[in-house]
Structure 1
Amino acid sequence: MLTVLVIDESRSRAGEICAGLALAGYQVAAILAGSENLTAEVEKLQPDVILIDTDSPSRDTLEHLAAMNKDMPRPVVIFTQEDGQETIRDAVKAGVSAYIVDGLDPKRIKPIVEVARARFEDTQALRRELEETSKKLTDRKLVDQAKGVLMKARGLDEDAAYHAMRKLAMERGQTMAKVARDVIDMARVLL
């Protein structure tokens, strides 16, 4: 069952939200009055989704969300009355998956949460792909730099330098990037 952490400074509003979540088939992990200890609470409770109901998301709330999003990203839904463009942009930058203006209708909770989860999953997939691509590019630059070192130091052509590194990687059971780092580090010591 999907667990939801509810953050709302109003206990009566939080009660309505919890009723709507229960009707939607979700379990409430906890109700917090504010986001001060958000990272610690998320680490302790491990909720699947965070739902915030507020008149206007404060700068502190958005900063707490951004900090949490770095280490323990979760889909975040904000229900608010604040429709300012800058606040919306800041919320999205902080990791908010759904920003709903003009209040909370308990009947709409399930589709809104599901859209937020889908958007979150897509964003996380893009982030992983970007990190993977960035790592591959960095590794490729290292390999090219190491090939240059071998070409200069041993008088090899590019293909021979690549094959020498590949052979060493296979013998050591290491990645080409690791061997390339070793070649570059050794060249710094010796040259």
Structure 2
Amino acid sequence: MRSVLICDDEPVLRMSLKNKLKDLGFAEIIECSDGEAAVASALSRLPDIAILDVSMPKMDGISAAKAIRKKLKVPILLLTACMDQQTVAKAKEAGVAAFLTKPFRDQDLWPAMELAFAHAHEMDELREQVEDLKETIESRKVIERAKGVLMRSQGLTEPEAFRKMQKLAMDKRKSLRQIADAILLTES
């Protein structure tokens, strides 16, 4: 059951968009008419996707998108009557997934939203992989330092120190990283 935030200062456009989104199966449609309300609504209601007009009162759509993306990793589509290089550059920097030009055609909405969801999912997976890799690299650094401590303190060769750490890990049912952390703790 997907939810969507739509924010545009034109009530007629919001109504048209709302009807199309209902047809696309969105169960919850959150509406607002200015950028500040868009940010507040997004942070309190946590929509799955947001569609924001570029030109809105109180806060423009790009600023609202940037504020929303700081806290939530939801895909954001921007509605605009005209695009220039500067607007596209700012939108890219804000993490906007796609543009829909006004007046938008109904057949353009669904593909833009599906691509935005797919891109957001792909980015989430990449972020997760990067975090896993950072953790792996950090663990290897800690294990290498602990191996060095064992080599110095017990006069072991590198393979002997590593085997000793592996045996300790198996005997104590701990990860190699946990054993390395414990060795470094006893050294300091």
Task: Determine the structure 2 residue equivalent to 1:183.
Answer: 183
Match of 2:146 in 1: 146
Judge which range, 121-130 or 53-62, deviates more: 53-62
Q: Percent identity?
A: 24
- CA-based RMSD of the aligned residues comes to 2.5
Partners of 1:80 and 1:92 lie apart in 2 by 14
Q: SS of the counterpart of 1:52?
A: strand
Normalised to the residue count of structure 2, the TM-score between the two structures is: 0.83
Cα shift readout 1:88-128 (whole Å, capped 9, x = no counterpart): 23323333222334542233211111111111111111111
Q: Counterpart in 1 of 2:126? A: 126
Query: Could you list the runs of 5+ residues in structure 1 that have no partner in the other structure?
Result: none
User: Normalising by the residue count of structure 1, what TM-score does the alignment of the two structures yield?
Assistant: 0.82
Q: Sort the Cα spacing of 1:46 and 1:165 in 2 relative to 1 into closer, same or farther, 3 A.
A: same
Q: Give SS of 2:111's match.
A: helix
Q: Which structure 2 residues correspond to residues 1-191 of structure 1 after superposition, within 5 A?
A: 1-36=1-36, 41-55=41-55, 57-58=60-61, 60-68=63-71, 72-187=72-187, 189=188
Gaps of 5+ in 2: none
Q: What do residues 19-69 of structure 1 show as CA deviations (whole Å, max 9, x unaligned)?
A: 22122232343112234365663454232211112337555314313312x
With a CA cutoff of 8 Å and minimum separation of 6, indicate the structure with the bigger relative contact order: 1
Mapped contact 1:29–1:45 kept (Cα < 8 A)? no
Contact 2:7-2:51 at 8 Å conserved across structures: yes
Q: Distance in 2 between matches of 1:39 and 1:79?
A: 16
Distance 1:12 1:37 in 2: 18
Alpha carbons of structure 1 residues 23 and 126: separation in structure 2 relative to 1, 3 Å? same
In 1, the alpha carbon distance for the partners of 2:55 and 2:146 equals 57
